[in-house]
Copies of this chain bind each other. A is one copy, B any other.
Amino acid sequence: MLLHMAEFDGPLTSDALAGMMQTNPVVIRRILAGLRKEGLVHSEKGHGGGWRLAKDLESVTLYDIHLALGAPGVLALGHRTEAPGCLVEQAVNSAMGEAFDAAEALLLSQFQQITLASLSRDFHQRLDQRGITQQALSEAAHMRNCSDGDD
């Protein structure tokens, strides 16, 4: 979504973004409200209002976004109990916890390497390969980018 905002010149409304992301405007607002708290986006009310990126593409990583989204759990396999009385469970949690921590650390360290700028470059490369000219970086072009595929 941030990349879509990056391509568009001017603010994008929750409605427009909801159309791109195929979801509800309120869902967009909920998500972007979190990102705004971390200074990633900026919003304006009223006529000509909407959402706008607040930072340079080079300075925002997937890790920043992850944190801004509340650092949700990355691993689907979870320990049930935090401090179980069962010693068997303690042993299992201990061993799996180490493995989980290592995997999560690796994932997040990679997130820190992925900037919005790098993703944007990749996106434009794919655009060129598809043979679409750079002329129209308008909302219409965005819509096309998102619906031109096979879905």
Partner-B contacts on A (CB < 8 A)? 3-4, 7, 62, 72-77, 81, 83-92, 94-96, 98-100, 102-104, 106-107, 110-111, 114, 118-120, 122-123, 126-127, 130, 145-151
Contact = CB atoms under 8 A, between A and B. Distances in A.
Q: Give this chain's copy count.
A: 2
9 contacts: A3-B91, A62-B96, A85-B151, A87-B127, A87-B145, A88-B119, A88-B123, A91-B119, A99-B114
Given A62-B96, A94-B122, A123-B91, A85 B149 contact: yes
Nearest to A147: B85
Contacts of A98: 110
Nearest to A150: B85
A85 B86 CA distance: 49
B3 A81 contact: no
Given A83-B149, A103-B110, 13 more contacts: A62-B96, A75-B107, A76-B76, A83-B151, A88-B119, A88-B123, A90-B126, A91-B119, A91-B120, A95-B119, A99-B110, A102-B106, A102-B110
